[in-house]
Structure 1
Amino acid sequence: MAVVRSVVLFVLAALAEIGGAWLIWQGVREHRGWPWIGLGVVVLGAYGFVATLQPDAHFGRILAAYGGVFVAGSLAWGVVADGFRPDRYDVIGALVCLAGVAVIMYAPRPA
C-alpha cells in the first residue's frame, strides 16, 4: 500500500509542477497574462507541499526519484496539452528514467 500511495503522490507532484510551469509558460510565452502566471506560481507552490507527503523521510532520495517522474510526466503533458509527439528515443529515455525511479524508491533496503 505504501508503494501505491507513493506513486499517487508522484503523479500529483508531477501534475502540480509541470502544470504550474505550463501555466507560467502560457502566461509569458503565449501572452496570456498575469492571471496565468499567478496561478502557475500557486500551483508550483502546491508541488512543494505534495512532495513532503512521500512516506520516505529522505529529501534527496525523493527529489532524485521525482526527477525521473518529471521527465516522463513532461513528455506526457506535452502529448496531452500541446500535441507533442515523442519519438522512440523520447519514450526509451522516459522508460529508463522510470526504471531509475523504481530502483531509487522501491528497491528493498535493510531496516
Structure 2
Amino acid sequence: MSYLQPLTVFVLAGLCEIGGGYLLWQWLKADRPGWMGLLGALLLVAYGWVATWQPTSFGKTYAVYGGIFVVMSIAWAWYFDGFRPDRFDVLGGAITLLGIAITLFWPRS
C-alpha cells in the first residue's frame, strides 16, 4: 500500500496540470469560451496545491512528477487529440517509468 498513495497523488496532480494546461490551450489557441480558460487556471492552481501532499522533498517530488507528466501527456494526447504514439514514444515512456520507479521506490541504505 505504500506505493499506492504517492502514485495516486502524482496522477491527481498530473490530471490537474495537464487538464488545466489543455483547457487554457483550447481557450487561447482554439477559440474556446472563456470559462475553459478560467477552469484551466483553477486546475493549474490546484496542481500546485495537490503536489504538496507528497511526503517527499520538493526536489524529489518534482523530479518524479516530471516523469509522470511525460507519460500522462502522451496518454492525454492519444485520448483527447487523436495523437498516435509510435514505438519510440512508447519506449521513451517505458524508460521514463523505470526512472520514476528507481527514483521513488528503490531502497536506500
Shorter-chain TM-score tier: over 0.9
> 1:16: how far off?
0.5
User: What is the CA–CA distance in structure 2 between the aligned matches of 1:39 and 1:32, rounded to whole Å?
Assistant: 12
Give the superposed CA RMSD. 0.9
Query: What's 1:6 paired with?
Result: 6
Give the TM-score, by structure 2 length: 0.96
Moved beyond 6 Å, runs of 4+:
none
- Confirm whether residue 42 of structure 1 aligns to residue 42 of structure 2: yes
Q: Alignment partner of 2:3: what SS?
A: helix
Structure 1 residues without counterparts, runs of 5 or longer: none
Structure 2 residues without counterparts, runs of 5 or longer: none
> 1:35: how far off?
1.4
> 1:54: how far off?
1.1
> 1:29: how far off?
0.8
Query: What's 2:103 paired with?
Result: 104
Give the TM-score, by structure 1 length: 0.94
User: Structure 1, residues 78-109: CA drift from partner, whole Å, max 9, x if none?
Assistant: 11111111000001111111111111111111
User: What is the CA–CA distance in structure 2 between the aligned matches of 1:104 and 1:48, rounded to whole Å?
Assistant: 21
Instruction: Decide whether the 8 Å contact of 1:17 with 1:44 is kept in 2.
Output: yes
User: What is the CA–CA distance in structure 1 between the aligned matches of 2:44 and 2:99, rounded to whole Å?
Assistant: 24
User: Structure 1, residues 26-80: CA drift from partner, whole Å, max 9, x if none?
Assistant: 0011000321111101001111111111122x10001001000000000000111
Query: What's 1:64 paired with?
Result: 63
Query: What's 2:25 paired with?
Result: 25
User: What is the CA–CA distance in structure 2 between the aligned matches of 1:91 and 1:39, rounded to whole Å?
Assistant: 30
